[in-house]
Amino acid sequence: MTAPLSTSASASDLPTVRLMPKANARAIRHGAPWVYANELVTDRRTKKLEPGTLARLEDAERQPLGLVAVNPTSKIIARMLDPDPEAQIDQSWFEAHIARALDLRNRLYDAPYYRLIHAEADGLPGVVIDRFGDTCVVQPNAAWAEALLTPLCAALVAVTGVTNVLKNAGGRTRTLEGLDDVSTVLAGDAPDAALPVPMNGAIYMADLTGGQKTGLFYDQRPNHAFAANLSRGARVLDVFAHVGGFSLAALAAGATSAVAVDGSAPALELAAQGAAEMGVADRFETRQGDAFDTLAALRTEDATFDVVICDPPAFAPSRNALDAGLRAYERIARLAAPLVAENGILVLCSCSHAADLGQFRVASVRGIGRAGRRPILLHTGFAGPDHPQLPQLAESGYLKSLVFRL
């Protein structure tokens, strides 16, 4: 259940929550966006607050730190919204944040296809908004944003001029926040077909209502481009391809052929549609199946490729899954490396925030070595600038891409 929040209540009417003496108030003052449950005084009154309740945050000496959204049921019990404890979280407040984010994207991109709001880094904790032309898909992954969807949506339309706003409720963190999984249309209409999205010279078909996440992964854009530059005249294998992220960019750059592997038949159908839209269907092939099994099968077929890319889902989505996730990344590298032609390219990606860059690199190199190959590391890539990192939040640097020559 989300809180019946008011967008017109004065800050003086809001409850106050306080950090414990052991909590790092300095980190909050310097921009840390989260307060964990073991850092906040959780008395009976605080525990009774509805998820998403706005409150003023004080340090242990009762000095104000800012305005937060509180969720007593979450490990992240408070999310910093504004350093001004008197801030009014209304449509105007949302408009200011969205306008600032839009100005940055307008400097970065010449077409309205990007991540418009990247949660904490854009000042809206737990909120993700991806833009597809005149349609935006919103993921309100925190209780406060769910409760304030009406002013958020109104601000989004007012600032960007989009006509359609969709709510995607498929985020894993919504469950942790006690939220439902019901997606809906907030403004305008949902598209009745996949939308074509131009990126890196390719055309991707994005299913905004039935696809993964918001319909497309914008974060890999610069890594698609880097790998594509190495794919001219090459035979390319794109594993965990989704709608053809790496393979279609490679074909647009001049790859001679590309094979896209994924477990999802609908995703591969969208990839094939994208290839057809680009006029490269004759150089594009899809292969549905489990990625590990398909890599092993290609090995038995003595298949080789000049460029092999593996972009799996998060194998280590939490610290509890870290060890198993690192073993999975090592296994992927071990299975993929034998398929790379001599002096060819192997691209390995991780979107697991629990596995840092060093751990991912060690697992990848170990897997390559166990396959009997010798790598050199050409390039390390990260998410694009429409996915800015918050320096005080390591989790915002989740995406890593390692480009090896074998």
List Cβ neighbours of 26 (8 Å cut-off, separation of 6 or more): none
Pairwise CA distance, residues 389 & 22, whole Å = 27
Q: Which string of DSSP letters, residue by residue, matches 114-166?
A: EEEEEGGGGT-TTEEEEEETTEEEEEE-SHHHHHTHHHHHHHHHHHH--SEEE
Q: Among the options 136, 153, 349, 351, which is catalytic?
A: 351
Give me the amino acid identity at 340.
V
Element (H, E) at 79: strand 76-82
Pairwise CA distance, residues 30 & 25, whole Å = 9
Closest CA to 341 of 367, 388, 305, 313: 305
Element (H, E) at 195: strand 195-199
- Residue 173 tokens read as 């963190």
Clarify whether 351 is annotated catalytic.
Answer: yes
Catalytic center residues = 351
